[in-house]
Structure 1
Amino acid sequence: MKLKYLLILFISITALSIVGCSDDDLGPTGITTKPEDPDDNTDPDIDFIIPSYADDYSAIASWDKRNEWNLANVHDPSVAYYNGYYYMYGTDASYGNSHEGHGHFQGKRSTDLVNWEWVGGPFYEAPSWVADSLNAIRLRMNLEAIANDNIQYGYWAPVVRRVNVGGQEILRMYYSIVIHNYIKTGNPTTASFDGSWTERAFIGMCESTDPAGAVWEDKGFVTTSSSDRGLDFSRASISDWSGYFYYNAIDPTYIVSPEGNHYLIHGSWHSGFALLQVDATTGKPLNTLGNPWADNASELTARYGARVGTRSNGSRWQASEAPEVIYKDGYYYLFMAYDGLDVPYNTRVVRSENIEGPYYDITGRNFTNGQGDSYPIVTHPYKFNLSNGWVGIAHCCIFQKENTDEWFYMSQGRLPVNVGGNPFSNAIMMGHVRRIVWCPASVNEPNNLWPIALPERYAGVPEEYGTITENELIGTWEHINLSYRFAQQNSATGLTLKSDGTMTGALTGNWSYNESKKQLTLGNVIVCVEREVDWEASPRRVTLVYAGTEKNLNATYWGKKSK
């Protein structure tokens, strides 16, 4: 069974609402800021509502308070714009399992990407096609059917897109349903180990023209987990991680190419990511898939999709998942999550000129051929001063703000363990929306731009604050070297940018600023500067932040002006 399932099952079942927060912390509309401190880098005449909803939402985690959740209880989100709203749907997961019994893939919607209201999901029970498809496959494998009442379902990782079908704009959702039964006996995986692997996952599809009313039409089976090992589903022991399935049919992403071709990319933790072309009208695979097993990888991938990427070539348990793909300026950018979801989750990105690949990272490593860990780091566990910080920041969606060239990153962020004395605080999953900045790979490649998420969450700071000037950058910053440290938060250290163009503290040497491009050069690293809210401050306030990387750094610079 995938590590992700075990972790989320454990923390969601055990989480209890034992940490409180005051009513003042829960206001959905926020507070008005009219800063008076000249070091605040803001205009005192601008009225701006800063979000005030609490990061620790345990006091409102129960189902009857779902209309107060805002971005509480978000996991593996996907966002699409439809009829004036950004609709977001995600994995069935919530603090204390408050969602149980209330349908699957509940969503939220927003007009401003800051304040979100709850909306219902597409169905309340597993669609009947899942059991039918499972048992039809088992029959062809000469295995007994599993009684419907004994099938254990898990609901995971939908992707939602707005598409035009026959002249009508609709929302199309691909979703994952995982079967938690053993292959050999069909027993639930909570029973004794039976010497076989866990059953397969399925990807299905549904469509809606009324997401506000939670009206969805299910379209059924799209694909399923597939193996290159024929019918040998035996597992030597519970600690055997050799893997039966080549492709794990979860975590789909969906894209329409500039030529109008429709594709799914999916996969998780097994051999890598599969590319499957689907019909634009039906949303189903263009080619017949056939039995979800073969005697070798090449025979399997010819039917179930070419492998476009793998973290480690030859590994069956490689700790990469959740592909998300976008197209921009001639490149397909493929974002992915690394490692376990509770603490170490972090996000990487690679790109290709072709949807089929090969995909390369910023250093030129070939991700399609599994040539090693990919950079840049887009997000990673971190901690600014005077806060607990965040962990588990990955499985993202990437989307464009309607009618703009602004791109956004959204994922869950988890609180670290034992925040506020709550042993279950790591089960608190707050939705994080962050702007993406496109930064040069090096000072010698000003047009080789790569996407990095900003270190502070999006709050909709108005443009009336004006152009960011060089003089505003002078002062004290919290600087984070966002490098890969498994299951550890990167902490902030002080950085001072002096008026003479030198810097001291976390970095030394010279700095300079290109105002027209909003690019700050720190030594030999170019970072992009934006205004955002300091969410750790009390009260929260507008400040300056930066993010950027360098092709040989194997890390990302994050920063926030503190004074």
Structure 2
Amino acid sequence: MKNTKFVLLGLLIAIIIPAALLTYRHYHPKEDDFTGIKLPKAPAAAPFKNVNTDVLYNEKEWTTNFTHDGTIIRADGWYYVFSTDYMVGAPPTPGIQIRKSKDLIHWQFVGRVFEQVSQEAWDWTHGTTFWAPNAIKINGKYYLYYSVSEVGKRNSYIGLATSDKIAGPWKDEGAVFKTKEGDGNTVNAIDPAVTLDKNGQPWMVYGSYFGGIFISKVDKNTGKLVNPNNQGTLLAQRKDMNFGIEGPEIIYNKKTGYYYLTVSYDWLEDTYNVRVGRSKNITGPFVDYNGRDMIDPSDESFNTGNKIVGPYSFGNDPGWLGTGHNGLLQDGENYYLIHNARAGEDKYWSHLHVRKMVWTDDGWPVVSPERYAGETEQKVSESNLIGEWQQISLNRFDDGVQRSTKLQLLANGKIKDGKGKSQWELTGKNTLKLSVYDPGNAPEDYWDITVKVLPTWDWENWKGTLAFTGMNQEGTVIWGKKIIAK
């Protein structure tokens, strides 16, 4: 009889204890549980220096340093970035800088296109350096568009170079479009970007502060404008020279059926930020999440366009300024956005940033809050999310540095707010929904935020973690990064 009791007691223990452990683990999960997640590896053995005077006159060590106004293209198994002539501490050597990478993470400086601006461009503008190039492949040939301009005036020149190989040599084909003070146009002939519409027809989008952003059809046989005497169709505009707009790019997403226009607002040294609108037609109209037309010459244009990248700082990190003039890349099923960013320690040190782009459920592009380190979207579980996060709201009304605030996701589906009214829920593969109680500020007292969660490299703390990116019900982009307990 005693043996039977001991057996029954043993069975009860065998059943109850595992069940109790499972219950405990469910309600008391580890805060840094990355079970099932493949985090990216460290991009280097040690953190990169954002300001590094040792590389000033050593181009082989430039990597991402001094990249400005980059365009990105994939060719011959490499990713190439062509960019504006820029450096710190001395006048830049003219010639359109070239960098390449195998993985979008490790970059090498490989030289320049040309050694000086053409005589034609000099005669027109008296500009000595190249600005804002753009590269595209059409019918087996590479086309490289570039700008030369007189600073602060519309005496500007968009030129074209061609090559059978991405590495060159490049042949200068002369002017594509020129503008002059008093020519009767409003557009400024800088910042060209050529894209193919869904039927394979190339178009050039271009322009800046002066008259806004325009688009014009390109002859696919010559790479030049079909109508070089017409400035084209207006796509985006702000009030005047005090409301900066420049650096346009357009990309088409076959799955959503939309064209997406990105532009940069404000001043390149600090408040630079990237905005986006979309349209079913490449010639517009392009509207943002709230239906506001990107042609907005009113005093309210600071509220136009979804701000998807802007100056930011996580925690006590100096952060990044001048986060603008982007390039766009579709690589198979993956999309990426590149832009220049200036170090918070010294705003004259500009770097190339590459960010993975993901798509909201309603077809809007958003980008990772951290630089790309090889991550992919993956299925996440609730236990992966519990713990402390840093959250940044990319306020459309304020283009200064947006600093992170604390966000605590609790194991019971609550968000720590002192009132017990905020909640979170994981839906689908990697969609996180936040309902944040903020009476008097949020519509109907709650911010409804839907974000995509993805693994990332925490460049500020130099370790793998999770991040999220998405929007609230007003179209404001929200970033987040999980903080690993020490």
Tell me the TM-score normalised to structure 1 length: 0.73
Query: Equivalent residue for 1:24?
Result: none
Residue from 474, 478, 481 that aligns with 2:390 = 478
Question: Which whole-Å CA distance do the structure 1 matches of 2:434 and 2:216 have between them?
Answer: 42
Query: Equivalent residue for 1:163?
Result: 138
> Residue 255 of structure 1 aligns to which amino acid in structure 2?
T
Identical counterparts, % of pairs = 30
Question: Which whole-Å CA distance do the structure 1 matches of 2:405 and 2:59 have between them?
Answer: 38
Alignment of 1:67-82 (within 5 A): 67-82=60-75
Contact 1:325 1:335 in 2 (8 A): yes
> Residue 449 of structure 1 aligns to which amino acid in structure 2?
G
Q: Answer yes or no: is 1:177 the counterpart of 2:131.
A: no
Question: Measured at CA, do residues 112 and 47 of structure 1 come closer, stay the same or move farther in structure 2, by a change above 3 Å?
Answer: closer
Query: Equivalent residue for 2:50?
Result: 56
Task: Count residues in correspondence.
Answer: 436
Contact 1:50 1:541 in 2 (8 A): no
Query: Equivalent residue for 2:163?
Result: 208
Q: Answer yes or no: is 1:512 the counterpart of 2:425.
A: yes
Question: Which whole-Å CA distance do the structure 1 matches of 2:247 and 2:369 have between them?
Answer: 21
| CA apart distance, 1:499 | 1.0
Question: Measured at CA, do residues 199 and 247 of structure 1 come closer, stay the same or move farther in structure 2, by a change above 3 Å?
Answer: closer
Contact 2:39 2:375 in 1 (8 A): no
Contact 1:362 1:551 in 2 (8 A): no
Query: Equivalent residue for 1:456?
Result: 370
DSSP-derived class of the 2:363 partner: strand
Contact 1:482 1:490 in 2 (8 A): yes
> Residue 550 of structure 1 aligns to which amino acid in structure 2?
N
Q: Per-residue CA shift, 1:136-185, capped at 9, x if unaligned?
A: xxxxxxxxxxxxxxx34342101111222xxxx232111000135xxxxx
> Residue 112 of structure 1 aligns to which amino acid in structure 2?
D
Q: Answer yes or no: is 1:285 the counterpart of 2:209.
A: no
Question: Which whole-Å CA distance do the structure 2 matches of 1:215 and 1:53 have between them?
Answer: 36
| Structure 2 stretches lacking a partner, 5+ long | 1-29, 436-447
Query: Equivalent residue for 1:400?
Result: 330
Query: Equivalent residue for 1:66?
Result: 59
| CA apart distance, 1:211 | 3.4
Query: Equivalent residue for 2:406?
Result: 494
DSSP-derived class of the 1:449 partner: coil
Query: Equivalent residue for 1:344?
Result: 271
List 4+ stretches of structure 1 deviating above 6 A: 42-47
Residue from 300, 311, 325 that aligns with 2:250 = 325
Residue from 456, 465, 477 that aligns with 1:532 = 456
Residue from 385, 402, 412 that aligns with 2:315 = 385
| CA apart distance, 1:431 | 0.9
Question: Which whole-Å CA distance do the structure 1 matches of 2:227 and 2:37 have between them?
Answer: 61
Query: Equivalent residue for 1:223?
Result: 177
Alignment of 1:134-149 (within 5 A): 134=124
Question: Which whole-Å CA distance do the structure 2 matches of 1:224 and 1:475 have between them?
Answer: 56
Question: Which whole-Å CA distance do the structure 1 matches of 2:224 and 2:206 have between them?
Answer: 14
Q: Answer yes or no: is 1:545 the counterpart of 2:467.
A: yes
Question: Measured at CA, do residues 77 and 547 of structure 1 come closer, stay the same or move farther in structure 2, by a change above 3 Å?
Answer: same
Question: Measured at CA, do residues 152 and 336 of structure 1 come closer, stay the same or move farther in structure 2, by a change above 3 Å?
Answer: closer
Question: Which whole-Å CA distance do the structure 2 matches of 1:230 and 1:280 have between them?
Answer: 27
Q: Per-residue CA shift, 1:109-128, capped at 9, x if unaligned?
A: 01100011112222001112
Contact 1:58 1:95 in 2 (8 A): no
Question: Which whole-Å CA distance do the structure 1 matches of 2:49 and 2:474 have between them?
Answer: 35
| CA apart distance, 1:67 | 1.6
Contact 1:61 1:96 in 2 (8 A): no
Contact 1:40 1:542 in 2 (8 A): no
Question: Which whole-Å CA distance do the structure 2 matches of 1:42 and 1:398 have between them?
Answer: 33
Q: Which gives a bigger RCO, structure 1 or 2 (Cα 8 Å, sep 6+)?
A: 2
| CA apart distance, 1:97 | 3.2
| CA apart distance, 1:62 | 2.0
DSSP-derived class of the 1:96 partner: coil
Tell me the TM-score normalised to structure 2 length: 0.84
Question: Which whole-Å CA distance do the structure 1 matches of 2:354 and 2:308 have between them?
Answer: 13
> Residue 157 of structure 1 aligns to which amino acid in structure 2?
A
Contact 1:322 1:396 in 2 (8 A): yes
Question: Measured at CA, do residues 520 and 215 of structure 1 come closer, stay the same or move farther in structure 2, by a change above 3 Å?
Answer: same
DSSP-derived class of the 2:393 partner: strand
Question: Measured at CA, do residues 94 and 201 of structure 1 come closer, stay the same or move farther in structure 2, by a change above 3 Å?
Answer: same
| CA apart distance, 1:400 | 1.3
Q: Per-residue CA shift, 1:232-284, capped at 9, x if unaligned?
A: xxxxxxxxxxxxx6111111111111112111010100121111111001001
Question: Measured at CA, do residues 179 and 161 of structure 1 come closer, stay the same or move farther in structure 2, by a change above 3 Å?
Answer: same
Question: Measured at CA, do residues 126 and 305 of structure 1 come closer, stay the same or move farther in structure 2, by a change above 3 Å?
Answer: same
Q: Answer yes or no: is 1:249 the counterpart of 2:189.
A: yes
| CA apart distance, 1:330 | 1.3
DSSP-derived class of the 1:67 partner: helix
| CA apart distance, 1:200 | 0.5
Question: Which whole-Å CA distance do the structure 2 matches of 1:40 and 1:160 have between them?
Answer: 43
> Residue 491 of structure 1 aligns to which amino acid in structure 2?
R
Question: Which whole-Å CA distance do the structure 2 matches of 1:45 and 1:307 have between them?
Answer: 45
DSSP-derived class of the 1:215 partner: coil
Larger-gyration structure (1/2): 2
Question: Measured at CA, do residues 324 and 152 of structure 1 come closer, stay the same or move farther in structure 2, by a change above 3 Å?
Answer: closer
> Residue 69 of structure 2 aligns to which amino acid in structure 1?
D
| Structure 1 stretches lacking a partner, 5+ long | 1-36, 136-150, 181-196, 232-244, 290-302, 420-424, 441-447
DSSP-derived class of the 1:394 partner: strand
DSSP-derived class of the 1:246 partner: coil
Question: Measured at CA, do residues 46 and 394 of structure 1 come closer, stay the same or move farther in structure 2, by a change above 3 Å?
Answer: closer
Question: Which whole-Å CA distance do the structure 1 matches of 2:296 and 2:363 have between them?
Answer: 23
Query: Equivalent residue for 1:468?
Result: 380
Residue from 237, 244, 256 that aligns with 1:310 = 237
DSSP-derived class of the 1:426 partner: coil
> Residue 432 of structure 1 aligns to which amino acid in structure 2?
H
Alignment of 1:83-98 (within 5 A): 83-97=76-90
Contact 1:205 1:218 in 2 (8 A): yes
> Residue 333 of structure 1 aligns to which amino acid in structure 2?
Y
> Residue 325 of structure 1 aligns to which amino acid in structure 2?
I
| CA apart distance, 1:467 | 3.1
Question: Measured at CA, do residues 251 and 42 of structure 1 come closer, stay the same or move farther in structure 2, by a change above 3 Å?
Answer: farther
DSSP-derived class of the 1:210 partner: coil
Question: Which whole-Å CA distance do the structure 2 matches of 1:384 and 1:90 have between them?
Answer: 28
| CA apart distance, 1:48 | 3.2
Question: Measured at CA, do residues 437 and 45 of structure 1 come closer, stay the same or move farther in structure 2, by a change above 3 Å?
Answer: closer
